[in-house]
Amino acid sequence: MADKYEQVLELAKRRGFIWNSFELYGGTAGFYDYGPLGAMLKRRVENIWRDIFVINEGYYEIESPTIGIEDVFIASGHVGGFSDPLTECQKCNEAFRADHLVKDIMDNPDTLGADELTKVLNKNNIKCPECGGKLGNVYEFNLMFKTSIGPGGKRAGYLRPETAQGMFVDFQRLLKFYRDHLPFGATQIGKAYRNEISPRQGVIRLREFTQAEAEIFIDPRDKTHPKFAEVADIVLNLYSQEGQAEGSSEKMSINEAVKKGIIAHEFLAYCLAMTYRFLMRVGVSPDKLRFRQHMKDEMAHYAADCWDAEILSERFGWVEVVGIADRTDYDLKAHAKQSETELTVYVSYDTPKKIERFAVKPDMGILGPMFKGKAGKIANALKALKPEELSADAIELTIDGEQIKIEKNAVTFETVCEEVHGENIIPHVIEPSFGIDRIVYSLLEHSYSEEEAEEEGEEDKTRIVLRLPAEVAPVQAAVLPLLTREELIKPANEIVKMLRKTGILVSFDDSGTIGRRYRRNDEIGTPYSITVDYQTLDDGTVTIRDRDSMKQVRAGMSNIADNIHELIYNGKSFEDAGKKI
């Protein structure tokens, strides 16, 4: 009866992964707490993301405020576009998008405010499409949490609805940090906030959530990727625009997808590949992952191409967990306009270009004494003239309504040949954006398994196992004395110490039978259990038990820390960890 979501959430609650926030006061929809194990799991997922994007790709991480000022979100479009004008039927209480209702009457209802929309509704006698009842006043519902900065509440602030704007706002500083070179990227892992109208689906739609975003600034004329060859052969499950029309996804190598023009360009494809590697490494099931291309009408108007990584969940179907978009120069242009600052990169040409340019040189030695304060304005006016106007016998200008005659000898002009070494361009932005909470939930769901542990002559019983990759499991090893005896507890404690010294998160458990303790650890995904028995006292060896296979090997106690480290981080196979038992 209970579906997997319920089973996973029950376990998550009971064992300290995640639970609804503010339970003490009855709980609040859209907010979840990460418990001791959940916070650790999430941290490990984030650190793998860092390993890939920050360490291996070199896109340094920044940290900007979670509160943003109004200008930022005017530029991003969130102040205007992140809200919807709603109207409710007074009779049946259905809510409708007011701009949708007047779409057929108006050309551009998006530009109207709430009051104007109310007027249009009334004037045209528009009724509730459901029951024909009267519609109420239109109000704006903005999905951003609003607050005020400083006393008096005069200055508006908003909790950021995405982390991305931080990187755009810091563009100039980042450009300098990367010594004026394209491409470069910056990342941020942090909280974002959206005041969802009615969040459902548990952890899938949150009002406060964690994003990991990279903004990679590239040369718009060159969207190749230097390391493309390394990923060209990765095969992805692609659900392209055509595929969606036919309702089928297709497995294809990245190289082929770019060649066929399914993925817009190498750089975007490379990001898909990175995303794939990341999701595989943290433990998403490969058969429950697909990359879905946004349909043309679904894509933002400025986007060149956009793909979502979607993960299959038993309860929620295909869930978007990553968005990878070529946002072109939209964001930088918007911030350039709002801030009245040029946000460009100077790019040198391979070889300087020769350009013919018409140059006007007013002789300030003559104009200055003659016109005094007006000389500057006159010089500028002269520069704007065309060759034929300048070569006339007399040059007449109108400055501030005054007719002014200029002597021919006060200005010279010529066509000059110049070498241009480069130009200022607005970079394009490639943005992979990860919803960490959804990924963490998916990991729990995908790694959760119940299996019948058959023991001869005994009844069937279920074993709950979280098959998390060793690298993300919150508790990395359990140390268990076989029996509650002082002589076994002592060496066990020594092992705990050794492991902790090397940064392994280890739990010690001597309560209950050994089987019970193995099961307790299976349930939270502890990949390895180290058991101290009487043989340990004789020859200094312990057993290591593998969570997934339940197999055991016997290995030395003195180098146990290195051994476990290799198992977790270096892909050492369990068989190589010791002697088979």
Partner RNA sequence: GCACCGAUGGUCUAGCGGCUAUGACUUUAGCCUUCCAAGCUAAUAACUCGGGUUCAAAUCCCGAUCGGUGCACCA
Could you tell me the smallest distance in angstroms from the CB atom of residue 248 to RNA? 23
Could you tell me the smallest distance in angstroms from the CB atom of residue 101 to RNA? 10
Map residues 18-47 to x or -, x wherever contact with RNA holds by CB under 7 A: --x-----xxxxx-----------------
Could you tell me the smallest distance in angstroms from the CB atom of residue 525 to RNA? 13
Among 413, 519, 556, 562, binds RNA (CB under 7 A): 519
**Residue written as token pair 């058969």:** 287
> How many residues sit in the footprint of RNA (CB under 7 A)?
70
The answer to whether 504 and 476 have CB atoms below 8 angstroms apart is: yes
The verdict on 545 binding RNA (CB under 7 A) reads yes
Backbone angles phi, psi at 185, to 5 degrees: -145, 155
The verdict on 423 binding RNA (CB under 7 A) reads no
The verdict on 493 binding RNA (CB under 7 A) reads no
The answer to whether 216 and 226 have CB atoms below 8 angstroms apart is: no
Name which of 193, 207, 159, 191 is nearest 28 in CA terms. Answer: 207
The verdict on 458 binding RNA (CB under 7 A) reads yes
The answer to whether 521 and 463 have CB atoms below 8 angstroms apart is: no
Residue 260: count of CB within 10 angstroms of its CB: 10
Could you tell me the smallest distance in angstroms from the CB atom of residue 260 to RNA? 27
Among 543, 564, 574, 578, binds RNA (CB under 7 A): 543
Among 382, 533, 555, 578, binds RNA (CB under 7 A): 533
Q: How far apart are CA 277 and CA 110, in angstroms?
A: 41
Instruction: Read off the DSSP letter of residue 260.
Output: T
Stretches 49-57, 216-224, 382-390, 545-553: which one binds RNA (CB under 7 A)?
A: 545-553
Residue 247: count of CB within 10 angstroms of its CB: 7
Among 131, 197, 229, 399, binds RNA (CB under 7 A): 197
**Residue written as token pair 């290591």:** 544
Residue among 182 and 206 whose Cβ is closer to RNA: 206
Residue among 246 and 459 whose Cβ is closer to RNA: 459
Residue among 319 and 343 whose Cβ is closer to RNA: 319
Pairing of strands 289-293, 528-532: unpaired
Could you tell me the smallest distance in angstroms from the CB atom of residue 23 to RNA? 8
The verdict on 514 binding RNA (CB under 7 A) reads yes
Q: How far apart are CA 408 and CA 19, in angstroms?
A: 83
The verdict on 96 binding RNA (CB under 7 A) reads yes
Burial (0-12, 13-18, 19+ Cβ within 10 Å), 398 = exposed
Could you tell me the smallest distance in angstroms from the CB atom of residue 94 to RNA? 6
Residue among 294 and 572 whose Cβ is closer to RNA: 294
Residue among 234 and 440 whose Cβ is closer to RNA: 440
Q: How far apart are CA 162 and CA 215, in angstroms?
A: 12
- In one-letter notation, the amino acid at residue 360 is V
430 forms beta bridges with: 216, 326
Measured in residues, the chain has a length of 581
Residue among 3 and 388 whose Cβ is closer to RNA: 3
Chain positions 64 to 83 lying near RNA, rule: CB under 7 A, are 77, 81-82
The verdict on 333 binding RNA (CB under 7 A) reads no
Could you tell me the smallest distance in angstroms from the CB atom of residue 250 to RNA? 25
Residue among 26 and 503 whose Cβ is closer to RNA: 26
Structure-block tokens of residue 203: 């952890």
Stretches 145-153, 193-201, 283-291, 397-405: which one binds RNA (CB under 7 A)?
A: 193-201
Q: How far apart are CA 212 and CA 49, in angstroms?
A: 8
Among 63, 115, 180, 196, binds RNA (CB under 7 A): 196
Could you tell me the smallest distance in angstroms from the CB atom of residue 470 to RNA? 16
Stretches 335-343, 369-377, 526-534, 564-572: which one binds RNA (CB under 7 A)?
A: 526-534
The verdict on 515 binding RNA (CB under 7 A) reads yes
Element (H, E) at 427: none
- In one-letter notation, the amino acid at residue 253 is S
The verdict on 494 binding RNA (CB under 7 A) reads no
Q: How far apart are CA 444 and CA 390, in angstroms?
A: 77
Q: What is the DSSP string of 459-501?
A: --EEEEEE---TTT-SS-EEEEESSS-HHHHHHHHHHHHHHHH
Name which of 269, 65, 241 is nearest 160 in CA terms. Answer: 65
Among 227, 337, 461, 497, binds RNA (CB under 7 A): 461
Stretches 231-239, 359-367, 400-408, 450-458: which one binds RNA (CB under 7 A)?
A: 450-458
Structure-block tokens of residue 163: 């982390």
The answer to whether 544 and 479 have CB atoms below 8 angstroms apart is: no
Chain positions 266 to 325 lying near RNA, rule: CB under 7 A, are 300, 315, 323
Instruction: Read off the DSSP letter of residue 23.
Output: G
Q: How far apart are CA 227 and CA 220, in angstroms?
A: 18
Residue among 197 and 399 whose Cβ is closer to RNA: 197
Question: Which residues, at least 6 apart from 252, have a Cβ–Cβ distance to it below 8 Å?
Answer: 235, 236, 238, 260, 262
The verdict on 356 binding RNA (CB under 7 A) reads no
The verdict on 90 binding RNA (CB under 7 A) reads no
Among 10, 115, 233, 548, binds RNA (CB under 7 A): 10
Q: How far apart are CA 364 and CA 309, in angstroms?
A: 63
Q: Write out the residues near RNA by the rule CB under 7 A.
A: 10, 13-14, 20, 26-30, 77, 81-82, 84, 88, 92-97, 100, 143, 161-162, 194, 196-202, 205, 300, 315, 323, 433, 435, 453, 455, 458-459, 461-464, 482-485, 511-516, 518-520, 523, 531, 533-535, 542-543, 545, 550-552
